[in-house]
């Protein structure tokens, strides 16, 4: 692929937050997909507007911690570790806001409803479907695009954050 991968909460094993409730790391939070195209967590893009200053947009990517079940060894995979999305979003939002963007967008491979997975709720660390929680608990996002749970959901807003979800195979998209 000729584009940056963005998954702020997918870090190199052992670099996760020191306060990680499941498996504390050294706290350096080194995104797994960091390379010459991006830091692996977010990118900043400028978009021209005729006769006006460019719009500076920060785009942060996240992926559900549920992805760990598809890895050989899951959480013990020697290469990668999925941090809690809410915790990771709060950490990276501070770094993104220091860049002074006009707009902050999240692209989330994760579900909306934190109660969708049996046994999980708003207090579940590394919830598999935390998009609503990210919108409610992490100030600074303007738009969150999400998809993972295959639910059809119209646009909604939480704490002035626009949430746009799509159904599987792009059968339905929010505009």
- Per-residue pLDDT reduced to its tens digit, 85-113: 999 999 999 999 999 999 999 999 998 88
Does the pLDDT at position 73 exceed 90?
no
| Residues composing the chain | 175
- The pLDDT value recorded for residue 159 is 74
The answer to whether the beta carbons of residues 95 and 108 sit under 8 Å apart is no
pLDDT in tens, 9-49: 999 999 999 999 999 999 999 999 999 889 999 999 999 99
The answer to whether the beta carbons of residues 122 and 114 sit under 8 Å apart is yes
Confidence band, pLDDT 50/70/90 cuts, at residue 70: confident
34-to-68, 94, 128 alpha-carbon distances in Å:
19, 18, 23
Q: How far apart are CA 103 and CA 140, in angstroms?
A: 9
The answer to whether the beta carbons of residues 8 and 60 sit under 8 Å apart is yes
């Amino acid at each position: 692929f000729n584009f940056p991968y963005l998954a702020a909460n997918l870090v190199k094993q052992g670099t996760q937050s020191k306060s990680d409730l499941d498996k504390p790391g050294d706290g350096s939070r080194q995104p797994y997909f960091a390379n010459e195209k991006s830091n692996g967590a977010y990118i900043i893009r400028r978009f021209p507007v005729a006769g006006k200053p460019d719009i500076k947009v920060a785009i942060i990517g996240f992926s559900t911690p549920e992805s760990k079940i598809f890895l050989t060894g899951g959480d013990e995979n020697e290469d990668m570790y999925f941090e809690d999305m809410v915790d990771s979003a709060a950490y990276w939002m501070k770094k993104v806001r220091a860049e002074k963007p006009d707009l902050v967008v999240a692209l989330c491979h994760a579900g909306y409803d934190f109660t969708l997975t049996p046994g999980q709720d708003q207090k579940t660390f590394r919830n598999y479907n935390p998009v609503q929680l990210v919108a409610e608990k992490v100030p600074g996002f303007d738009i969150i695009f999400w998809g993972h749970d295959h639910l059809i959901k119209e646009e909604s807003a939480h704490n002035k954050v626009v949430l746009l979800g799509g159904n599987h195979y792009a059968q339905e998209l929010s505009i």
